[in-house]
Each structure stands twice: as structure tokens, then as C-alpha cells.
């Protein structure tokens, strides 16, 4: 696996953060630039590097959008099941979070909204 991409994923209880030369990667453009630099090298013509960067960025944006759409669809299914009386999928989704966490607050807001819509 690409070492830059590998740094983005958590490993067991040790969380890794992707970075290049000590600078964290916080945007898809940062990630695309890091992959471009690794792929074509630092001494390559700027125009070629920019072209490769744009192609990689477009691909990352496509997969990011696809992943977000899939996650949204799955969460919508969980909301639908909860509105039909089976909140177990939502409960499982939020199960590992602390009671006062942001995720728990979102869960409560989702359940409250579903109750409002059905009640």
C-alpha cells in the first residue's frame, strides 16, 4: 500500500496521521500533492506536476464523493429502519461512543427528529 495513504488509516489502538515532511495532510489537495510528489519526484517540470496533481485530485474527489454518497444512503436506511420501529442499527452505529460525545448528541437529535416526524 502507498505509505502516504497507509498513514491515513488507524491501526488497532494506535492512530496514525498522514504527513509530508512533518506537515499534516488536511485536504484532498494536500493528499494529491503528496502522491504527485512521490510519483513524479520533486525535480519535475511544474506544468507536468500540476497536470498530474489535477488528475489525482479529480480521482480523489470522485472516490470521496462516492464514499460520502454510500455512507449517506446507508445512514438513510438506518434512519428508515428506526422510523419503522427498529432503532438497533442506529444504536449499534453509535454504541462505542461516550454518553456525552458529539456522536451521542447526533444520535439523540436523529432519534428526536424521527419521533417528531412520526408522532
Q: Domain segments of the chain: what residues?
A: 3-73, 87-119
Confidence of residue 81 (pLDDT cuts 50, 70, 90): very high
Q: What are phi and psi of 15, to 5 degrees?
A: -90, 125
Asked if the model's pLDDT at residue 96 lies above 60, the reply is yes
Q: Checking DSSP bridges between strand 23-24 and strand 19-20, what pairing results, if any?
A: antiparallel
Q: What is the DSSP letter of 86?
A: -
In this prediction, residue 12 carries a pLDDT of 39
| Percent of the chain topping pLDDT 90 | 12
Instruction: Give the pLDDT band (50/70/90) at residue 32.
Output: confident
Higher-scoring residue by pLDDT: 77, 37: 77
Extract the C-alpha cell encoding 22: 512533518
Backbone angles phi and psi of 111, in degrees to 5: -65, -40
Q: What is the mean pLDDT of the chain?
A: 75
For residues 83, 88, 94, 98, the Cα torsion angle rounded to the nearest 10 degrees is: 120
**pLDDT at 77 exceeding the cut of 50:** yes
Amino acid at each position: 500500500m502507498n505509505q502516504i495513504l497507509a498513514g491515513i488509516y488507524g491501526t488497532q489502538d494506535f492512530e496514525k496521521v498522514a504527513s509530508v515532511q512533518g506537515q499534516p495532510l488536511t485536504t484532498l489537495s494536500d493528499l494529491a500533492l503528496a502522491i504527485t510528489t512521490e510519483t513524479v519526484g520533486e525535480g519535475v517540470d511544474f506544468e507536468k506536476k500540476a497536470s498530474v496533481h489535477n488528475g489525482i485530485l479529480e480521482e480523489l474527489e470522485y472516490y470521496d464523493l462516492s464514499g460520502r454518497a454510500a455512507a449517506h444512503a446507508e445512514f438513510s436506511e438506518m434512519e428508515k429502519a428506526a422510523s419503522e420501529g427498529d432503532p438497533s442499527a442506529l444504536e449499534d452505529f453509535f454504541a462505542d461512543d461516550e454518553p456525552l460525545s458529539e456522536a451521542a448528541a447526533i444520535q439523540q437529535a436523529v432519534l428526536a427528529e424521527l419521533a417528531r416526524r412520526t408522532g
